Every structure is written in structure tokens, then in C-alpha cells.
Amino acid sequence: MDALTLVRFVIGLAALVAGAELLVRGASRLATALGISPLVVGLTVVAFGTSAPELAVGISSALAGQPDIALGNVVGSNIANILLVLGLAALVAPVVAGLRVVRREVPLMIAASIALWLMALSGHIDRLEGAILFAGIIVYLALLARSSRRETVRVRAEFAAEYGSGAMGASASLGNLGLAAVGLVLLLVGADWIVTGATAMAASLGIPEVVVGLTIVAVGTSLPEIATSILAGARGHRDIAVGNVVGSCIFNILMVLGATALVAPAPLAVSSDLLAVDLPLMVAAAAACLPILYTGLVVDRREGALLLGFYVAYLAYLGLVAFDEPMAGPFGGVLVLGAVPVAGVVLALHAFRAWSRPGARSSPYRTGG
């Protein structure tokens, strides 16, 4: 891989992050000015904006005939969203979830993860399955729109502080529309450069494309989630961090992968390694959110450290796979069949103890939702 390709890859990542930010800012301000509910905007426009890099990379890689990058990007991004993004955000400050997110969005994220895993068992994701996934996001958005008129005053104030609110004049509307348009262009250009660079990187280093998709591309396209969640937590807007992560995971599976499978010229082939380790870990990470968030509707620093520890272990596994080490298979098996179930039991017991304590359902950090 030559220096120019590496430079284009880095610039492509920067363009994705900048494009997502501009798209979110412009679209969010337009939506709130039109009177759309802040909760709907937060779980749709903002989640779509932070998932836009995954969508751009997924479609670009599928059209270029690299399904491993497309699938690895979605699966790797969801794993990174939960283990890395949520873990980092919790270390900055305890992360809070609204009760409706725990009752509705988290179960939906788990269900979507399981559905993707079951679809992948056939060895591919075809157009029909892509249509089913994409229909799921349409139904979700329709249901969300019907139940979005009950935000607290604090949630509205938080969103207004982050993205602005209220009516705006014609010039401001055109300015925000321009921001969204520029963001979209940057996303498209950045995605093309990233896919080209990732393919060249995998070929020159002798690393499977799926590993590049699960690591460099996945973390790169998750940078908007990382920035949004950590900054929201540092500023005290703790609800935005959880809603951003959960909403992005739902969008990644239903919208990103659904749209990618629909436009792909052929069914997206699923590698055996992805089926054996990465998809089960994605499901386990999603499922872990329920007992963690049920303990007072908060992810504390100890739980954040646990999530980060699992992500480090996962990166160690991917490193073994990248260099074709014989220990990769056994290590992945231990990770899926050993560490994940043990952690699940510990989290479930932790959640039960928290639930059984008087007043445990009220988090000291909870501020509404």
C-alpha cells in the first residue's frame, strides 16, 4: 500500500466524521424548527447522522464487491458502540438511560441483533432479508413518531443546548440545508476513499478484509458515536449518550445493513469467522445492556471498565486472526463460550440484587425520560 492510499484513507475518515457532524447539525436544526419532537430527532436524525458513515461505507463496499468490509463494518461498529463507546462514556461520567429506552429501544436492539445472527446462519444476507431489515426501521420510526410527545422539559433543554431549537428564518433554513448537503457530499467522498484504502491495506498486509472492516473501518466509522457520547456525558447530557449508542446500533442493523443488502449486486456472503465469534459477541454485547441499565438505569464506572475490558479482549482476538495465529480459534471460543456467559451471569445477578433492594429502580443519576 503506497503512501497516497494511506493519506486518502485518513482523509476519508476525517471527511466521514466531519460530514456526519454537519449532516446532524443541519438536519437536526431544520427538524426542530419544523416542530418535530426532540426525542424523535434524537433517536432518528442524530442516530441516522452518526450511522451515516456506516451506511456510506456499507453501500460503497457492497457495490465494489467487498461484502466482508460491509458486514464487518456493521458488526464491528455495533460491538464498538456498546463495549468501547459506552465504556468510555461511563468512565468519563456515569451514563444514564431513560426508562423508555430500557423498556423499548434496548429490547429492540437485542431483537435486531438476534435477527441478523439468525439470517446470517444461511451463509449470506440476500435482498429479501435486506428488505425485511429495512422494513423494520420504517415500522420503528412510525411507532416512534406516535409516542414521542412526552419528553420532559429537561430533555428538551438538553437537546436545544446541543443542536438548537425554535423557528428560524429563510436564510437560516437555507444555511442549515447547506450544512446537511455539504455533510452528505463529505460522507460519500470519505466512504469511497475508506473502502479503497481498506481494500489496499488488507491486500498489502495480508490481513483478511473482514478484520479490517471489524477494526479500523468499524472504529473509524464509530468516531461520531464516540465523540457525541463522550462530549454529551462530559457536559452532563447523560441521556444523549445512551440514546445515541442504542439508536445507532438499531440503525446500523435495520437501516444500514438492510439498505446495503438491497443495493448489493449479489447476496452479502458471511464469513465463517464472523458467524463463529463476531456475531455472537455482538448479540452478547447488546444483551448485556439490559441487566447493566436495569441496575438503576445507569452504567457506572465499574461497568464501563468491564465493557472496555471485553473490547480489549476482542481486539486481542482480532489481532490473532489478522496474523493467522493458531490460538485465534481457541481464544475466540473461550471468549464466546466462556467469558461471555460468565459475565452474563454476573451481570444478571448484579441486576437482580439491585432490583430486589428497596428503591433500587430509582437511579441517583436519573433525571427523567
Residue 163 near residue 41, CB atoms below 8 Å: yes
pLDDT at site 264: 93
DSSP character for 81? I
Residue 193 reports pLDDT greater than 70: yes
Residue length of the chain: 369
Question: Measuring CA to CA, which residue among 43, 262, 37 is closest to residue 141?
Answer: 43
Cell 442549515 locates to 176
pLDDT at site 368: 41
Q: How far apart are CA 42 and CA 200, in angstroms?
A: 36
Domain ranges of the chain: 3-356
Residue 89 reports pLDDT greater than 90: no
Residue 187 near residue 19, CB atoms below 8 Å: yes
The grid cell for 233 is: 456525558
Q: Which CATH number fits domain 3-356: 1.10.238.10, 1.20.1420.30, 3.40.50.2300, 3.30.70.360?
A: 1.20.1420.30
Rg for the chain, CA atoms, rounded: 20
pTM of the model: 0.78
Residue 135 reports pLDDT greater than 90: yes
Helix axes 67-79, 170-205, angle to 10 degrees: 110
Give residue-wise pLDDT tens across range 207-230: 888 888 888 888 877 777 777 677
Within 8 A by CB and 6+ apart from 130, the residues are: 257, 258, 259, 260, 261, 262, 264
Residue 351 near residue 294, CB atoms below 8 Å: yes
Percentage with pLDDT > 70 across the chain: 72
Give mean pLDDT, residues 269-291: 89
Residue 299 DSSP SS3: strand
Residue 186 near residue 26, CB atoms below 8 Å: no
Residue 105 near residue 245, CB atoms below 8 Å: no
Residue 90 near residue 304, CB atoms below 8 Å: yes
Q: How far apart are CA 252 and CA 213, in angstroms?
A: 14
The grid cell for 268 is: 452479502
Question: Measuring CA to CA, which residue among 245, 243, 250, 288 is closest to residue 99?
Answer: 243
Q: How far apart are CA 177 and CA 217, in angstroms?
A: 28
Give residue-wise pLDDT tens across range 27-48: 667 666 666 655 566 556 666 6
Q: How far apart are CA 218 and CA 53, in angstroms?
A: 10
State phi, psi for 165 to the nearest 5 degrees.
-160, 170
State phi, psi for 253 to the nearest 5 degrees.
-80, -55
Residue 120 near residue 274, CB atoms below 8 Å: yes
